[in-house]
Structure 1
Amino acid sequence: MKAAEVTEKRTPGRPVGQSSGYEQIIVAAIEQFAALGFEGASMRQIAKEAGLSSATILHHFGSKRELFAVVLKHISESLENNPVLSNPGAAGPDTLQAVVEALVNWVRTHDDFARISMREALDTAERVENAKRWPLKAGMETIHKAFETAMDCQPGNLSGRMLALQVLGASFLFYVGEPVHRLQAGVPDAQWKDEFCRNLVDTALRFAKMDMQK
């Protein structure tokens, strides 16, 4: 999702009637964190992009870490509110295909969110150790549970979670680096993204079939 597509809904914890400067900050923060990561983005540049002062950002959030947590919460909520991932339906191949396609399409249509999430996966080991407070936890659980439901995983069976991470990782790598990959492979742009999705669905279905035969 491009930062400009962030909705005007009230973020949890935001006082009713707070100024629209809040949304300006979120939009600018998403763009900066997507492009530069947490360490590379600066509050000064975010303020500049938002057309506000650094003092205004600190008034709303207090620190860059707090602002980043709010951005991650936006990402998590977009996954939690995905109609297919949040309510995949009965287990079976059709459901698994729908879940894979929904996750791939989420990455495909949420470019900034995907970039931030991928950077977070690379840089967040220390924060995930305390996962109860990790802002992406609920969104990731939504993905995992969707795959577990589609594969009818029993307690203790990690196959659904493993497949979810494989699909998510492949999608992140593919779409974030898509222009370079496409040029290297020489595949026409019109076929590239749809073909990737079909191949990933086929791989997931084969994985699930082998898991059921164990």
Structure 2
Amino acid sequence: MSAEESAAAAPAPSTGTPRGPRGSYAKGQARRQAIVDEALAVFSRTGFHSGSLREIAKRVGLTPAGLMHHFADKEELFVEVLRQRDEKVRQAAGDPAEHTLVQQAEKVVAYNQTTRGLTSLYAIVSAEATDSEHPSHADFAERYRSGARNAEELLRAGQEAGEVRADIDPALAARLISAVMDGIQLQWLLDEQVDMVPLFEEFVRGYLLPPPRR
């Protein structure tokens, strides 16, 4: 780095007076997150197509035009809601290097049962996205494809380690895991007396884990 570059990169001397732009940035980020939070509440109830930007704006004390200062359109806002949802699910699953696929899936099921809004959002939007004109159609199709590829690889590794039944087809089982998770989520959303955790554990015990040694 040259002397000129070093000088340019050095922080400006502090005057002891709070600078407006930094405070404005923090306020802008807080408002942006508030919009995302309210959008989650709206989209998880009505889906993408019926979700109203006007309602979201009203919930955060903005006009629709004011909301557009933070997000260019409803699709951009929706993508950010899904991105944050995905990040929370990844955190719930834990480090892949420290947990097997089965352990990660069980953690996600348990987490989803504590976050009705996020779970409802995923269920509604994944159903909506079967429409080829939906803005997330290609994204959701790829989610399931890539998820199945990753799960198949982990299942094969689990078979080699003796952690997964040797007589199942990893490619088919990879699709079945997400199908079971989606199915029990739907039942829970319809009836909260349904407990997703033991249901998924029963599937794992009966289908994925090797039988106990006698």
Moved more, 68-77 or 120-129: 120-129
Stretches of structure 2 that go unaligned for 5 or more consecutive residues are: 1-23, 160-168
Matched, 1:199 2:199: yes
Matched, 1:78 2:88: yes
Q: 1:166 and 1:142, CA in 2 relative to 1: closer, same or farther beyond 3 A?
A: closer
Equivalent in the alignment of 1:99? 104
Equivalent in the alignment of 1:11? none
- Identical amino acids, percent of aligned pairs: 18
Q: 1:113 aligns with which of 103, 111, 118?
A: 118
Matched, 1:28 2:28: no
Equivalent in the alignment of 2:96? 87
Contact 1:111–1:176 at 8 Å: present in 2 too?
Answer: yes
CA shift for structure 1 position 114: 0.6
Distance 2:122 2:177 in 1: 15
Structure whose residues are more often helix by fraction: 1
1:32-47 matches, cutoff 5 A:
32-47=42-57
Matched, 1:49 2:69: no
Equivalent in the alignment of 1:172? 185
Alignment RMSD? 3.4
Q: Which amino acid aligns with 2:179?
A: Q
Larger Rg: 2
Distance 1:141 1:82 in 2: 19
Q: 1:106 and 1:141, CA in 2 relative to 1: closer, same or farther beyond 3 A?
A: farther
Please report the TM-score for the alignment, with normalisation by the length of structure 2. 0.67
Q: Across the two proteins, how many residue pairs are aligned to each other?
A: 174
Q: Which amino acid aligns with 1:199?
A: L
CA shift for structure 1 position 60: 1.1
State the SS of the aligned residue for 1:21: helix
Distance 1:90 1:150 in 2: 12
